[in-house]
């Protein structure tokens, strides 16, 4: 298996622009997680899905952030409009069960100027 | 509230020595713990896990110890190698069996040749 796939690997955009991050989980995994990592706050869970349904979005910073999972093999995290404080590395992870190991993708490094 | 913390932000060891990375957790209801390794520019990589019905688990060159009495978790790396240099995170599943993981802030392991 190729593991969790994320795109793009790097994104540089200007404040106010829309940003869309993409994730393909490991085939057969029912759980998908979106995290944000910064030096100041470490690794934070933003939202997670079970069988394509959002279960907990309490970590989503504000209404500018939204996430979707239209099918079992694809999820997006969108920021609109983006702000400089959104600059971070965004990770997607997937797992096969509720209490199972989460496997992380390589991340998307987002820079908002 | 729930929290996972690490005792030391940076650990420096000589190549060939054993390393011990510690982690304290606060939620006594947590029953699943994971250690992740994150190399620069990559996503967290699963190392080893342990469930609360065990107090020790061994992998290849790594051992995880769990002390539920004092809510302490440690990762031991035998014969530390330069390739072990990375940030190490502990994570716990918290309460409620939600599938969410709570990550510590991370410990940087530096291996001196």
Mean pLDDT of B3-18: 77
Pairwise CB contact (< 8 Å): B32 & A99: yes
Cα–Cα distance for residue pair A58/A6, rounded to 1 Å: 22
> And the tokens for B109?
């392991």
pLDDT at position A98, please? Answer: 72
**E runs forming strands in chain A:** 5-7, 10-13, 19-24, 31-38, 42-50, 53-56, 65-71, 74-79, 88-95, 103-104, 108-112
Q: Tell me the residues of chain A between 82 and 101 that have a Cβ less than 8 Å away from chain B.
A: 91, 93, 95, 97-99, 101
Residue B78 has pLDDT above 70, yes or no: yes
Residue B7 has pLDDT above 70, yes or no: no
pLDDT at position B81, please? Answer: 96
Pairwise CB contact (< 8 Å): B98 & A105: no
Is the Cβ–Cβ distance between A33 and A44 less than 8 Å? no
> And the tokens for A71?
């099918």
pLDDT at position A9, please? Answer: 96
pLDDT at position B1, please? Answer: 36
Is the Cβ–Cβ distance between A94 and A4 less than 8 Å? yes
Cα–Cα distance for residue pair A110/B41, rounded to 1 Å: 13
Residue B39 has pLDDT above 80, yes or no: yes
Q: Which of B31, B101, B106 sits opposite A102 (nearest CB)?
A: B101
pLDDT digits (tens, 9 = 90+) for A35-86: 999 888 888 899 999 999 999 999 998 899 999 999 999 999 999 999 999 9
The reply to whether omega before A38 is within 30° of 0 (cis) is: no
What's the mean pLDDT when you consider all of chain B?
Answer: 89
pLDDT at position B99, please? Answer: 73
Is the Cβ–Cβ distance between B63 and B83 less than 8 Å? no
Q: Which of A43, A48, A91 sits opposite B99 (nearest CB)?
A: A48
């Amino acid at each position: 298996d190729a593991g969790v796939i994320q795109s793009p690997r790097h994104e540089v955009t200007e404040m106010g622009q829309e940003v869309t991050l993409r994730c393909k989980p490991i085939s057969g995994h029912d759980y998908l997680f979106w995290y944000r990592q910064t030096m100041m706050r470490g690794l934070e869970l933003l939202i997670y899905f079970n069988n394509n349904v959002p279960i907990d979005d309490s970590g989503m910073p504000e209404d500018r952030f939204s996430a979707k999972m239209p099918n079992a093999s694809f999820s997006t995290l969108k920021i609109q409009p983006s702000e400089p404080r959104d600059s971070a590395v965004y990770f997607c992870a997937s797992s096969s069960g509720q209490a199972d190991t989460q496997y992380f993708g390589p991340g998307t490094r987002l820079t908002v100027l | 509230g729930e929290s996972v913390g690490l005792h030391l932000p940076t650990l420096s060891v000589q190549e060939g020595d054993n390393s011990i990375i510690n982690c304290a957790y606060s939620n006594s209801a947590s029953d699943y713990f994971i250690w992740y390794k994150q190399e620069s520019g990559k996503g967290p990589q699963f190392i080893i896990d342990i469930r609360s019905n065990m107090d020790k688990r061994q992998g290849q060159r790594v051992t995880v110890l769990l002390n539920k009495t004092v809510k302490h978790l440690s990762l031991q790396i035998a014969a530390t190698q330069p390739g072990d240099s990375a940030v190490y995170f502990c994570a716990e599943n918290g309460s409620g069996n939600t599938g969410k993981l709570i990550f510590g802030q991370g410990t940087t392991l530096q291996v001196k040749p």
